[in-house]
Amino acid sequence: MKIGFSLPNIGPVPPIYLGAFVPAALKRLAKLADGWNPVFISIPSMAETFGAIRQMAKDAGRDPSALSMVVHAVLEITDRPLGKDRAIFSGSLEQIAEDVRGCAEIGSEEVFFDPAFSPGGQSLDRWLSLLEQLQGMMRVS
């Protein structure tokens, strides 16, 4: 006697993004996930790692162009620009807009802003004001 069951058709499934950073996790991502969700990584390091992820996906028999990158931006906004050794998504609004453009240039499909740790980030009015200011600065040519 064979016993079986079928799963209900639940419709489209949302994409699975992993925030992987160590080699074993990056390999799992390349084999199983729909994309990568980096955080606190410089743009050059993101570009290099995403290239490696795509190569691992190809080695695993997957189409590397099917993988996407959605960057998690934890903001630290300052009144004045910070020096060249600043962390990604920290500094003036102009510097943060520059980081967003850099992410787009290396193939990020989206950047999502996380206000949780920003001073004033818990205030909806402050957050909406910052997003309005950033919106006009983030034009990618």
Pair 39, 72: CB distance under 8 Å: yes
Mean pLDDT of the chain: 87
pLDDT of 71 higher than 80: yes
Closest CA to 102 of 53, 138, 64: 138
Determine the pLDDT at residue 138.
66
pLDDT value of residue 29: 96
Domain borders along the chain are 17-137
- Residues in CB range of 108: below 8 A, 6 or more apart: 46, 69, 70, 71
For the domain spanning 17-137, the CATH number is 3.20.20.30
- What are 40-57's pLDDT values in tens digits? 999 999 999 999 999 999
pTM over 0.85, yes/no: no
Stretch 83-95: mean pLDDT, rounded? 93
